[in-house]
Chain A
Amino acid sequence: MLMQSETDLSGPSDDTAVPVIALNGVTKLFPGVKALSEVSLHLYPGQVTALVGENGAGKSTVVKILTGIYQPDGGTITLDGTPFAFPTPQAAGVAGVTAIHQETVLFDELSVAENIFLGHAPRSRLGLIDTAAMVDQAAGILRDIGAAIDPAHKLKDLGIANKHLVAIARALSIDARVVIMDEPTAALSQNEIEELYTLVETLKAQGKAILFISHKFDEIFRIADRYSVFRDGELVGDGEISAVTEAELVKMMVGRDVSQIFPTRTPQIGDEVLAVKGYTHPTEFADITFDLHRGEILGFYGLVGAGRSEFMQALFGITRRSGGTATINGASVSIRSPADAVANGIVYVPEDRGRQGAIGALPIFQNVTLPSLGRTSRSGFLRLAEEFKLAREYTERLDLRAASLDTPVGNLSGGNQQKVVIAKWLATQPKVIILDEPTKGVDIGSKAAVHAFMAELAAQGLAVIMVSSEIPEVLGMSDRVIVMREGRMAAELGADEMTPETLVRHAAGITGTPPC
């Protein structure tokens, strides 16, 4: 089971270095499941250790043990070489361990300074919070990390990247020695990610030990010094990042060879399905013009905030456009609501599938038929037999396993909920399917499944629009790419023009010939 590879080294190149914090043979049991099985993880000062593994490999459990939320059932934790216990999150804080989470746990209504010092604010002699000192110190920390943020501003006025900076400032304010970053770049655009890298370098230079959890290999190879790979709650390999290749890491993670990450497809591009001309919104986007054909996957690339999702929501009728026309199969259509869009064969699988996808309290069949009720009802009255027929047809197609179609979706596993959401949209028999960030936050094994499925949809003659911020995905899946920047089309690139460089140049606006 345990596949120790030859890249598995047992320590850093400098044998004398003592890890700031080390887990030795740590085991964590939950009722009926062993979340961690004798894993070891050493974090060294001034080094970035990348923690890699598929969803469910035990990464979050490690983070929770390091931050005192869970107690290990076996093994030891050492701090500077001496055994230590973290009975509470507070104890972990005192020991200098701090975590910056995927979704930052901060308070929107408080000021930046209050967020940074919540729980350990400087006090005046009367025991009251010394606001002036707090703002001063916050400004100092923010300056240190090169963040141009006014500590008196409310957090809600900041963008997502600046919120991350505040979270990092908070980590520094408690004199952290170990900084855990749990997928810190998941919600950031390319520019913001670059700023984060700079910051990580700063933290390294200050001698902090950094644990960096990420699904993205390019950033692991960019900033990590060491790696640890977990699989099914076990450590399957660790060592110097320079001694390992991307393919070897993937192999360790999934326990099998991933010969190709993207499915090879021979696109059969058919007739024009959708043509959009001059779509414009007063504040969010302008002059979006493109056509889309049967069997085609059209990528939409851009930085976060380039207006891609906003345009898709207008195309789907959730928001109103101020100008522009759309035709489907050559016939002009007016889409004023999601119901219009669905009726015209356009469906939208939103980015936030948990929140915008399924309705947990309703049974599977009712979720599947929800957008198709027009077909399964007659003059307002539902025909349950037809509903079950439709739901059965599409859940079977996706190989959804559940005791009964009457089961509430909330009782299903995450993977099966996804299948319900997809079955729901396929059951509308769409002509155009819009997938917004289809693999965001999805582990590498499931990613391949999503990509294969996308290829299958296109092969069946559906026209697919894929909004994605991941360059490899855009390059690997799209037949054509539209790059958006600041609400406008910056470029339209055919398969032969797509390279990582062209995408980034157009998205960031560093192209020689300005478009539009």
Chain B
Amino acid sequence: MLKRLLTSREALLAAAIILLLAVISTRFPAFVSPQNLGNVFNDTSPLILLAIGQMIVILTKCIDLSVAANLALTGMVLAMLNVAMPGLPVPIIIAIAISLGAVLGMVNGILVWKLAIPPIVVTLGTMTIFRGLIFVISDGKWVNSHEIGEGFKAFTRAAFLGLPTMSWIAILAVLLFSIVMARTTLGRSFYAAGGNPHAATYAGIDVGRTQFWAFTISGALAGLTGYLWVSRYAVAYVDLAGGFELDVVAACVIGGVAIMGGIGTVMGAMLGALFLGVIKNALPVVDISPFWQLAISGGAIIIAVALNSQANREKGRIILKRAEHAT
């Protein structure tokens, strides 16, 4: 049991992150100070939140390319709402963020479930539509820091036990979804629907509806992140978080989520996001150009995929063993 725990993908990834931090600390000891690590975690929180949602979607053999556009649209709606109604309390804003994001996710889910359109096509389409809607509602104008209310901005920055609220929300999401995935029938059906859709159907699981809920969760998390993002950076515009969906998918792949579905954990998605977060924050410190950052992120993805296929090869060896038993 202990051996399995130590050789799990999550443990390997955690070890890789620690190794990475150790290497960085030899040149910049300040990087691994608790304060800075807290900052890195806080910076990575949006990625963690989106990666959790994406992980669930990928589990069901789908992909959600619309998360960053969902985040930006929800963020813009909230920013404009805040300008129009400055007195709106933060809990209401958060409720609106989650609901609006969930509704946008449901659009994806309905199209995949009821019309059986391939998810990559659906979310590529809605991604463009969401970005277009931002332009339509904002006329392409920015909502700037001075227009956004103080309460709106303060929530994310408030600290609690040394960590900003945004970090706590990411931690809560990790805990919540760890329980959902491991201990609820819904979580189990995500794994079953992606692991073998045919078998899941015969077992009485509606695969389409399961995918619908995956997209809804992904959308809700994107909406919530939309508020956190606009609150933290105090700005909303059409291209907000442009291209961020690829970072999200990358975090999942690095975190050991099988792109063919059925395999993945919340912990893995979080560690995948943190791995990218550490690289992103460390490279400027080590004075490496942003272009190298992209190359290194890309390299990490390829290594992760190579490790995945290595794991599959191990399965092949077991088949030979079976042949041994058969004869």
Interface locus among B65-73, B153-161, B192-200? B192-200
| Contact indicator B185/A357 (Cβ below 8 Å) | no
CB distance from B65 to the nearest CB of A (A): 24
What's the Cα separation between A335 and B188 when bound, in Å? 24
Q: Which residue of B lies closest to A34 (CB)?
A: B327
Q: Which residues on A sit within 8 Å (CB–CB) of B196?
A: 355-360
Q: Which residues on B sit within 8 Å (CB–CB) of A414?
A: 322
Take A56-B326, A381-B183, A382-B183 as given contacts and tell me if A342 and B203 are in contact as well, using a CB distance cutoff of 8 Å.
yes
CB distance from A426 to the nearest CB of B (A): 13
Of A55, A233, A359, the most chain B CB neighbours within 10 A belong to A359
Q: Which residues on B sit within 8 Å (CB–CB) of A380?
A: 184-186
- Residues of B175-189 whose CB lies within 8 A of A: 182-186, 188
- Residues of B213-257 whose CB lies within 8 A of A: none
CB distance from B53 to the nearest CB of A (A): 19
What's the Cα separation between A157 and B203 when bound, in Å? 32
Q: Which residues on A sit within 8 Å (CB–CB) of B272?
A: none
B313 close to chain A: CB less than 8 A: no
Q: Which residues on B sit within 8 Å (CB–CB) of A30?
A: 320, 323
Q: Which one, A33, A316, A356, A357, contacts B324 given CB within 8 A?
A: A33
| Contact indicator A373/B185 (Cβ below 8 Å) | yes
| Contact indicator A339/B206 (Cβ below 8 Å) | yes
Q: Which one, A55, A343, A359, contacts B200 given CB within 8 A?
A: A359
Take A33-B323, A56-B326, A410-B315 as given contacts and tell me if A371 and B195 are in contact as well, using a CB distance cutoff of 8 Å.
no
| Contact indicator B206/A33 (Cβ below 8 Å) | no
A362 close to chain B: CB less than 8 A: yes
CB distance from A406 to the nearest CB of B (A): 9
| Contact indicator A337/B206 (Cβ below 8 Å) | yes
What's the Cα separation between A384 and B318 when bound, in Å? 28
B263 close to chain A: CB less than 8 A: yes
Q: Which residue of A lies closest to B4 (CB)?
A: A406
What's the Cα separation between A366 and B195 when bound, in Å? 12
Q: Per-position contact with A for B282-317: 1 when CB-CB < 8 Å, else 0?
A: 000000000000000000000000000000000100
A348 close to chain B: CB less than 8 A: yes
Q: Which residues on B sit within 8 Å (CB–CB) of A233?
A: 327
| Contact indicator B198/A338 (Cβ below 8 Å) | no
Q: Which residues on B sit within 8 Å (CB–CB) of A343?
A: 204
Q: Per-position contact with B for A342-369: 1 when CB-CB < 8 Å, else 0?
A: 1100001010100111111110001000
Q: Which residues on B sit within 8 Å (CB–CB) of A232?
A: 327
| Contact indicator A342/B204 (Cβ below 8 Å) | yes
What's the Cα separation between A316 and B202 when bound, in Å? 9
- Residues of A391-414 whose CB lies within 8 A of B: 410-411, 413-414
B262 close to chain A: CB less than 8 A: yes
B325 close to chain A: CB less than 8 A: yes
What's the Cα separation between A360 and B324 when bound, in Å? 21
Of B185, B263, B318, B321, the most chain A CB neighbours within 10 A belong to B185
Q: Per-position contact with B for A423-466: 1 when CB-CB < 8 Å, else 0?
A: 01000000000000000000000000000000000000000000
Give chain B's interface secondary structure class.
helix
What's the Cα separation between A420 and B188 when bound, in Å? 17
Count of chain A residues with Cβ under 8 Å from any Cβ of B? 45
- Residues of B138-190 whose CB lies within 8 A of A: 182-186, 188
Q: Which residue of B lies closest to A373 (CB)?
A: B185
B205 close to chain A: CB less than 8 A: yes
Q: Which one, B183, B186, B198, B323, contacts A56 given CB within 8 A?
A: B323
What's the Cα separation between A374 and B204 when bound, in Å? 11
A341 close to chain B: CB less than 8 A: yes
Q: Which residue of A lies closest to B195 (CB)?
A: A359
| Contact indicator A370/B327 (Cβ below 8 Å) | no
| Contact indicator B324/A32 (Cβ below 8 Å) | yes
Q: Which residues on A sit within 8 Å (CB–CB) of B182?
A: 382
B191 close to chain A: CB less than 8 A: yes
B201 close to chain A: CB less than 8 A: yes
CB distance from A35 to the nearest CB of B (A): 7
A377 close to chain B: CB less than 8 A: yes
Q: Which one, B185, B192, B203, contacts A382 given CB within 8 A?
A: B185
Q: Which residue of B lies closest to A340 (CB)?
A: B204
What's the Cα separation between A380 and B200 when bound, in Å? 17
Take A233-B327, A356-B198 as given contacts and tell me if A32 and B203 are in contact as well, using a CB distance cutoff of 8 Å.
no
| Contact indicator A338/B325 (Cβ below 8 Å) | no
Q: Which residues on A sit within 8 Å (CB–CB) of B324?
A: 32-33
Q: Which one, B203, B263, B325, B326, contacts A370 given CB within 8 A?
A: B203
| Contact indicator B195/A31 (Cβ below 8 Å) | no
What's the Cα separation between A356 and B198 when bound, in Å? 5
What's the Cα separation between A339 and B205 when bound, in Å? 7
| Contact indicator A382/B201 (Cβ below 8 Å) | no
A493 close to chain B: CB less than 8 A: no
What's the Cα separation between A357 and B199 when bound, in Å? 5
Q: Which residues on B sit within 8 Å (CB–CB) of A31?
A: 320
Of B191, B192, B320, the most chain A CB neighbours within 10 A belong to B192
What's the Cα separation between A232 and B327 when bound, in Å? 6
CB distance from A308 to the nearest CB of B (A): 17
CB distance from B113 to the nearest CB of A (A): 14
Take A358-B196, A377-B185, A381-B183 as given contacts and tell me if A413 and B203 are in contact as well, using a CB distance cutoff of 8 Å.
no
Q: Which residues on A sit within 8 Å (CB–CB) of B203?
A: 338, 342, 370-371, 424
| Contact indicator B320/A318 (Cβ below 8 Å) | no
Query: Which chain A residues have a beta carbon within 8 Å of chain B's beta carbons?
Result: 30-35, 55-56, 58, 232-233, 316, 318, 337-339, 341-343, 348, 350, 352, 355-362, 366, 370-371, 373-374, 377, 380-382, 384, 410-411, 413-414, 424
Give 29 pairs: A residue, B residue, CB < 8 Å, sorted on A.
A31-B320, A232-B327, A338-B203, A338-B204, A339-B205, A339-B206, A341-B204, A342-B204, A352-B198, A356-B198, A357-B199, A358-B196, A359-B200, A361-B191, A361-B195, A362-B195, A370-B188, A370-B192, A370-B199, A370-B200, A371-B203, A373-B185, A373-B188, A380-B185, A382-B183, A382-B185, A411-B315, A413-B326, A424-B203
The 7 closest A-B pairs by CB, nearest first: A339-B204, A56-B326, A359-B195, A356-B198, A371-B203, A359-B196, A370-B203
| Extra A-B contacts (8), CB below 8 Å, given A338-B202, A339-B206, A359-B195 | A33-B324, A356-B196, A357-B202, A359-B262, A361-B258, A370-B188, A382-B182, A413-B325
